[in-house]
Amino acid sequence: MSRKHFGTDGIRGRVGHDKVTPEFVLKLGWAAGRVLGGGSNRVVIGKDTRISGYMFESALEAGLSAAGVDVLLTGPMPTPGIAYLTRTFHACAGIVISASHNPYYDNGIKFFSAQGDKLADEVELAIEAMIDQPMETVDSEKLGKADRIIDAQGRYIEFCKSSISQNVSFQGLKVVIDCAHGATYQIAPKVLSELGAEVIPIGVKPDGININDGVGSTHPQQLQQRVIDEQADLGMALDGDGDRVFLVDHKGLLIDGDEILFIIARARKQQNLLKGHVVGTLMSNLGLELALKKEGIELERTDVGDRFVMERLVKNDWILGGESSGHIICRSKTTTGDGTIAGLQVIAEIVRSGRTLHELSADMEKCPQTLVNVSLGSSNAADIMRLAAVQQAVTDAQEELGKEGRVLLRPSGTEPLIRVMVEGVDEVQVNRVTEQVADVVRNNLHV
């Protein structure tokens, strides 16, 4: 199915360009209201902290009202928090205004169904078809109303805390939490503090333009140093909208999504709580697959994107999956990727096992993996990847690596990039081969 507006995770781009304009978002809100309205006939809207969120919040509110749909506003709220509130308020949909880990000058719109998961393909296509129709406002007596969920943050904080056992306390643990000046800036520190941890927050002073700027899961260096300086037990880095998480051990070493997934999966297995296989992606490190196999756990791979991970989990009624980027889905706890909840599961395992984060992660040995992002400029990713020279470079690289390596070329689902990933057993070889393939891609842009 070909989508005209929706990408793999909603609609995203540079503010004021293409579809990320107040005019388009107004029409999008109206179209979504026409398609999704009914039943409870109300929609929950949340946003991260970027300055353009105010503008798009108003545009969505106006469009939905014109379609006769009521609006419940949360203010800054993590993406997974909107999924939760959509379910608890029995809304017909949830909408998040966020560009996740992107800089402040980008923004986007993503949707949740009434069940708190991603919209089905046919629903997205129906919204796209409605966008092309003339916008008609319902009669005045049928216009939607807007209200604010006053206790939205408190509700979500309690939900996050409920994701671990009541007899687990984080007392005695010192945790540095980096909220990326994003949607979790008030929530995540409170969750950890109320669970008993000594909390040192950074990235908690949003000004509308500093979201993800040198902080958060995409820039964890400050967190790594702060963990060492504070002699903390661990650090936790979230992204701008709170659906990704990286951790840092007491030595300042970064623990990525693959390692987090391994720690949670093994803990679930040891407690007889793991159901079925674990789902990763084509980018998941080979070391994750091998470490899980030692624990008697099978890893299945999907295309890159938490959407595809979730689809595989739902199809098989499995409970755990994720991506190297830190999207971790604990289906037994929530309906979507949630950085805060995933981080809590790891901290709970630290408490349960009596082992440090460094010790828990050391049981998974990562294979050398190098990722290079090649900026496309005005070039089209699909066209570049079809070029004979690029395809030959990938073939040559795979032949050199043999069975002990992988070469993956894929377009980013959220940015104008081609991602070149190479994995193998020899780090020097992996780095060299990655640059060779990336150079071929760069040299064939605009051809």
Q: What is the pLDDT of residue 37?
A: 82
Domain-embedded: residue 4: no
Residue type, 377: G
Q: What is the pTM of this model?
A: 0.88
Q: What is the pLDDT of residue 80?
A: 97
> How far, CA to CA in Å, does 188 sit from each of 80, 153, 161?
12, 10, 10
Instruction: Count CB atoms within 10 A of the CB of residue 395.
Output: 11
Together in a domain, 324 and 377: no
* CB 397, CB 407: distance < 8 Å: yes
Q: What is the pLDDT of residue 2?
A: 65
Together in a domain, 186 and 322: yes
Together in a domain, 31 and 118: yes
pLDDT band at 369 (very low <50, low <70, confident <90, very high): confident
Together in a domain, 160 and 146: no
Range of the domain at 427: 369-443
Q: Which residues contact 135 (CB under 8 A, 6 or more apart)?
A: 27, 30, 66
Together in a domain, 321 and 192: yes
For residue 237, count CB atoms less than 10 angstroms from its CB and return exposed for 0-12, middle for 13-18, buried for 19 or more.
buried
> How far, CA to CA in Å, does 143 sit from each of 18, 41, 57, 278?
28, 11, 17, 46
DSSP conformation letters of 94-142: EEEE--TTS-TTEEEEEEEETTSSBPPHHHHHHHHHHHTSPP-PPPGGG
371 beta partners: 421
The total of structural domains in the chain comes to: 3
Domain-embedded: residue 2: no
Q: What is the pLDDT of residue 6?
A: 87
Q: Which residues contact 281 (CB under 8 A, 6 or more apart)?
A: 301, 302, 303, 304, 305, 308, 309, 323, 324
The predicted model gives 295-313 an average pLDDT of 93
Q: Cα(433)–Cα(423) distance, rounded to whole angstroms? A: 9
- At which of 362, 384, 412 does a domain end? 362
Together in a domain, 67 and 121: yes
Please say if the pLDDT value at position 446 is more than 80. no
The predicted model gives 359-369 an average pLDDT of 93
What's the mean pLDDT when you consider all of the chain? 94
- At which of 130, 150, 170 does a domain end? 150
pLDDT band at 305 (very low <50, low <70, confident <90, very high): confident
Which of 8-12, 125-129, 298-302 shows the lowest per-residue confidence on average (mean pLDDT)? 8-12
Please say if the pLDDT value at position 438 is more than 90. yes
Rg (CA), the chain: 22
Together in a domain, 35 and 69: yes
pLDDT in tens, 181-237: 999 999 999 999 999 999 999 999 999 999 999 999 999 999 999 999 999 999 999
Together in a domain, 318 and 182: yes
Give me the CATH number covering residue 379: 3.30.310.50
Please say if the pLDDT value at position 1 is more than 70. no
Q: Cα(422)–Cα(349) distance, rounded to whole angstroms? A: 32
Q: Annotated catalytic sites, by residue?
A: 100
Q: Cα(29)–Cα(26) distance, rounded to whole angstroms? A: 5
Together in a domain, 132 and 160: no
